[in-house]
Structure 1
Amino acid sequence: MRRRRAGRVPRRLAAILCGGILLTLLLKTFVAQAFAIPSASMDPTLRVGDRVLVDTFSRWTGSAPSRGDVVVFTDPGGWLQHDVTPRSGGFPGQGVLAALGLMPSTDGRNLIKRVVAVGGDTVEGDAQGRVRVDGVPADPPPGTPSGPARAAAPFRVTVPPGRLFVLGDNRGNSADSRAHLDNGHGGSIPDGAVVGEAFAVVWPGAHWRSL
């Protein structure tokens, strides 16, 4: 009898462990996921090394990003080679923990920017770096570092349906939609590339806040 009970313990522990991993993967996929901020393109809203929580649930309900949302999205093609992204050596097993959602994602395939225009909006930029959406100024948040315009040449584009025009809050140091105006879609990204909306900074403790 004792041998049978002893044999059940490892099986139960294995079942609990597998169940915990499955639940973690489900939460990561359908509820929320953590991401690390790799560059200064969203400074001061988000600083290098900040950890943010991203709502991955809304995309499964068909909810589309809106103007003003801070979104994480996968590289739609050629963006990361322009974005200055510090690399970290990490530690053994970090990739596994990130895949399980127990550590922020560090796969180097994601970017984070603010949505300033959606399908049907007209975006205009002048030589001074000022951006207007449907004639209304799309100014960065207060306290954003001043700097030269990312796109020196004036532009005017209409965002195609199902796409988003995104900018970094640090307008002078962000390889955003302005740097990809010649991508055939006026610099916009597809809705389907969006992983989710960032809704809170959770690390370090001094930076805790909602977005």
Structure 2
Amino acid sequence: MKWWAGLAGAAVLGMAVYGAIGLTQGDPRSPFPFRQLRLVSENMAPTLRPGMRVMARRKPASELRRGDVAVFFVGDNFWVQRVVGLPGDRVEMRGGLVILNGTPVPQADRGKIEIDGRTSTIRSEQLPGATAAHRVLDEGATPGDELSAVVVPPGRLFLLGDNRDNSMDSRFPATAATMGGGMVAFDDVYGTIAPEDVSD
């Protein structure tokens, strides 16, 4: 068990199937240097799954890099998604493949997995500048597989869920109608989750 797993006052990080809607205890914007969170849905599968405990650590958005798992605020809730685009990056998607600054991000098949009765392909993906590859899920063709090129503006991040076909993230506008995430402002970033800060 991780050293922080027994900390009192854990927050609950909710990620409804298509989004990352969360519930927290207390004020999520308070200046605590870390927050213990418990995952409740599949937005970041297969990397993060329901029931996992994670430790979110404060980190300025300007220090995040592609491949980092970012924790950020939407209203009074925490969301979690992976950093794909930094300010100035040009991001598009074709057939579910991320095209970053005109170059396809490499993917490699890693087998199949079944989640909630749905069969998905696991793929590894290596973002430029990331320290390691991460895994993503692909259920097949969905509307989110196609995205016209967008440029990430200053002070914003482009984020994606690893469960690409079940994540409302920066591909979708942040409106009440879409429940998308939109591009995330630096001011709304709490910090990041490191691989060593994840526990079953």
- Aligned match of 1:167 in 151, 160, 167? 160
Q: Deviations over 1:29-66 (max 9, x none)?
A: 3432111223211111000111111111x33xx75311
Unpaired stretches in structure 2, ≥5 consecutive residues:
1-8, 10-29, 108-122, 125-133
- 1:52 paired with 2:54, answer yes
Tell me what 1:177 maps to.
170
Tell me what 1:39 maps to.
41
Indicate the structure with greater helix content. Answer: 1
- Aligned match of 2:188 in 166, 170, 193? 193
| Conserved? CA contact 2:97–2:145, under 8 Å | no
| Conserved? CA contact 1:150–1:178, under 8 Å | no
Runs of 4+ in 1 over 6 A off after TM superposition: none
Tell me what 1:115 maps to.
83
AA partner of residue 33 (structure 1)? R
Distance 1:145 1:152, change over 3 A: closer
Query: d(CA) in 1 for partners of 2:35 and 2:187?
Result: 17
Unpaired stretches in structure 1, ≥5 consecutive residues:
1-20, 22-27, 77-106, 205-211
| Conserved? CA contact 1:70–1:197, under 8 Å | yes
- 1:144 paired with 2:139, answer no
Distance 1:143 1:189, change over 3 A: closer
Distance 1:41 1:150, change over 3 A: farther
AA partner of residue 114 (structure 1)? R
| Conserved? CA contact 1:75–1:193, under 8 Å | yes
Tell me what 1:158 maps to.
151
Query: d(CA) in 1 for partners of 2:39 and 2:97?
Result: 25
Amino-acid identity (%): 37
| Conserved? CA contact 1:150–1:174, under 8 Å | no
**CA RMSD between the two structures:** 3.0
Query: d(CA) in 1 for partners of 2:96 and 2:80?
Result: 20
| Conserved? CA contact 1:122–1:157, under 8 Å | yes
Query: d(CA) in 1 for partners of 2:74 and 2:36?
Result: 17
Tell me what 2:199 maps to.
203
Query: d(CA) in 1 for partners of 2:62 and 2:87?
Result: 14
Q: Deviations over 1:7-36 (max 9, x none)?
A: xxxxxxxxxxxxxx9xxxxxx834321112
Q: Deviations over 1:74-116 (max 9, x none)?
A: 116xxxxxxxxxxxxxxxxxxxxxxxxxxxxxx7x11100000
Query: d(CA) in 2 for partners of 1:39 and 1:132?
Result: 27
Distance 1:37 1:136, change over 3 A: farther
| TM-score of the pair, normalised by structure 1 | 0.58
Indicate the structure with greater strand content. Answer: 2
